[in-house]
Structure 1
Amino acid sequence: MLEQQLLNALTLGSVYALFALGFTLVFGVLAVINLSHGALFMVGSYAALAMVTKLQAPLWLALLGAMLVCGTLGLLIDVLVLKPLRLRNAPHLIPMIATIGVSIMLTTTAQGLFGAEAMRFPEGTLPAGEFIIGDVHVRALEIAIVAIAFVLMAVMFTILKRTQLGRALRAISESPKAAWLLGIPVEKLFHATSFVAAALGGVAGVLIALDFNAITPGMGQPMLHKGIAVIILGGMGDIRGALIGGLFLGFAEVISKAYLSSQMGDAVAFGLLFLILLVRPAGLFGRRLERKA
């Protein structure tokens, strides 16, 4: 039924958009494609699972804990990996290669700690309850996932567009050197951006793990591919594009699986993305950016 599939698509697309928002935030401010973002997504799901199973924490506290763990990891990646490369004016390809190494390290560490088999949240952890609206079955979990994703995206959008902090970040995205000359603490905001972006990735990991109730060490890699696709589709560094692109990819994937083939979801979604980029190579909201300093 179409209405049911649209609800499923909204749930999945909102998580894609949240993941891509953190991804595009790092690119927009630091001018780096952080290829460890998928691994941070995976770490968030394991962190929440560990808090629920080992510490008997409620789910809301596990979600906050996952944000803190992933945010701290993102900060460490920026301080220990990206900052030294910035100071050496390394070419753009070098941070990408370095973050691939970080991703492999995090993935293999998770596999060593938790094993390669899929793990699940204990019974009773997930929000129970279901509402029936017409012929559509709406799970309480789906409502929670969509609400959390959209609230976090709305908060980020408001901060970036309507606050002094947001104006400072936009200035850095245009020219870090000019922003520094204006007295903006560029390095501190680089660190803050890395923390927040990683925290958003961790939340997305928890939400997708709750939706599918399966956690594996390799779950971050497919999400990384989709995150890259979303930010290219929406326009590199544009947060509106992350939202629209994430929802588009979620809807395309779910609808194609429902009405074409369960094996064709990614093929159709990425095929449509390719066709859109033929018309708009810079993405839906993209524009050519040139750093002048």
Structure 2
Amino acid sequence: MNFDFLFSNLPELTVTGLAFGAIYALIALGYTMVYGVLQLINFAHSEVFMYGTFAALWTVMALGGDGDVGTGRTIVILVAALFAAMAMSAAIALILEKFAYRPLLKRNAPRLIALISAIGASFVLAELMGLRDRVAGWFGLEDNLSEYVSGARINRSMPSILQRQDLFSIGNYRVTTLDLLVIGSAILMMVALDQFVRRSRLGRGIRATAQDPETAALMGVNATRAVQVTFLLGGIMAGAAAFLYMLKIGSTRYDAGFLLGVKAFTAAVLGGIGNLRGALLGGLVLGVVENWGSALFGSEWRDVVAFVLLVVILLFRPTGILGESLGKART
């Protein structure tokens, strides 16, 4: 174990770990909200995130963000890419709710059937993106869209549109604008979502449905709308995570959501599945511990450290760090 490397690079490992953890946390919100309302794990949520990464990539490409475009145009492109990613992920989440979940819920299908439906939808969405060149060819658009559909099963990189600038030092590490943008954006969006769920009429409907669907329906809460809004909000958060991921990592592919989805699910369970604040805490803790573990044991052990942490937490606190469900959240 390389303790010297860990302690000499502790500030950098911590800050970059928080940045990765913030992305995990935003994706984890989708898992934790759907579980809080439906008691189901939406394993297709990883593809909701993946589609958002491609929406951000294609928007930057379409707006010509591959050169020195100036500060004003850079801001316009970044804002457009953010909204495109959130819109794409939200749309995919709503499609999943309508076709993969709602018919089963109406028939009172066992949760295992819904889980299998989610896994199937996950593979379908991933393969559709991996075969987008052939899909475009079916409509005779392969030549017109070649820039967007070529290399359908390899990594696609986004132009580096945001210049990283050093802001201040923590130890021997220079914190950059990108670090603060990723961490700050995730925290602000988490706070906004938490306040929406706690204080808005729709948010109270979501919590009522999560706590007791039958009583909520008797009190006039539209359960179908509450579920739709839950998927919509989870998709929006995943889209924001996708945008930040593309800024931080800069590349994606048709199966990019798989590992990120598993990590985000781990973060949700770590913080307390069904707890919005737990998703944020779990994501940040996971990101930091991953980085520290990779410094101690080597980068090839990064994923092992993450899942060992999950096992240890569940052994001593099965409900996660916070453990309070969405339906029992206090106003």
Compute the TM-score of the two structures, normalised by the length of structure 1. 0.93
- Give the residue type in structure 2 aligned to 1:170: R
**1:163 is aligned to 2:200:** yes
**1:32 is aligned to 2:51:** no
CA positional deviation for 1:131 = 2.3
Which residue number in structure 2 is paired with residue 126 of structure 1? 162
Distance 1:288 1:192, change over 3 A: closer
Which residue number in structure 2 is paired with residue 96 of structure 1? 115
1:147 to 171, 184, 199: 184
- What is the SS of the residue equivalent to 2:251? coil
Which residue number in structure 2 is paired with residue 69 of structure 1? 88
Cα deviation code 1:151-199 (max 9, x no counterpart) = 1101011112233332221110011111010001111121111111112
- What is the SS of the residue equivalent to 2:174? strand
**1:174 is aligned to 2:211:** yes
CA positional deviation for 1:289 = 10
1:14 to 22, 28, 36: 22
Which residue number in structure 2 is paired with residue 138 of structure 1? 175
- What is the SS of the residue equivalent to 1:137? strand
Cα deviation code 1:110-155 (max 9, x no counterpart) = 11224122111124x1243222425221221121111211111010
Which residue number in structure 2 is paired with residue 4 of structure 1? 12
Is the contact made by 1:22 and 1:196 (CA closer than 8 Å) also made in structure 2?
yes
Distance in 2, Cα, partners of 1:232 & 1:136:
31
Is the contact made by 2:274 and 2:324 (CA closer than 8 Å) also made in structure 1?
no
Distance in 2, Cα, partners of 1:248 & 1:64:
28
Distance in 2, Cα, partners of 1:8 & 1:111:
30
- Give the residue type in structure 1 aligned to 2:164: A
Residues 154-233 of structure 1 aligned to structure 2 (within 5 Å) = 154-233=191-270
Number of residue equivalences: 289
CA positional deviation for 1:288 = 8.6
**1:241 is aligned to 2:284:** no
**1:271 is aligned to 2:308:** yes
CA positional deviation for 1:76 = 1.5
- Give the residue type in structure 1 aligned to 2:127: T
Distance 1:190 1:289, change over 3 A: closer
Q: Which moved more, 1:127-136 or 1:220-229?
A: 127-136
- What is the SS of the residue equivalent to 1:13? helix
Distance in 1, Cα, partners of 2:82 & 2:326:
36
Q: What is the root-mean-square deviation in Å for CA atoms of aligned residues?
A: 1.8
Is the contact made by 1:51 and 1:62 (CA closer than 8 Å) also made in structure 2?
yes
Gaps of 5+ in 2: 1-8, 65-75, 133-148
Distance in 2, Cα, partners of 1:289 & 1:149:
19
Please tell me whether Structure 1 or Structure 2 has the larger radius of gyration of its CA atoms: 2
- Give the residue type in structure 2 aligned to 1:51: T
Distance in 1, Cα, partners of 2:107 & 2:235:
24
Is the contact made by 1:34 and 1:96 (CA closer than 8 Å) also made in structure 2?
yes
Which residue number in structure 1 is paired with residue 77 of structure 2? 58
- What is the SS of the residue equivalent to 2:131? helix
Identity in percent: 34
**1:105 is aligned to 2:124:** yes
**1:46 is aligned to 2:54:** yes
Gaps of 5+ in 1: none
CA positional deviation for 1:83 = 0.8
- What is the SS of the residue equivalent to 1:264? helix
Q: Which moved more, 1:138-147 or 1:44-53?
A: 138-147
CA positional deviation for 1:287 = 5.9
Distance in 2, Cα, partners of 1:272 & 1:33:
20
Is the contact made by 1:41 and 1:220 (CA closer than 8 Å) also made in structure 2?
yes
Distance in 2, Cα, partners of 1:59 & 1:288:
35
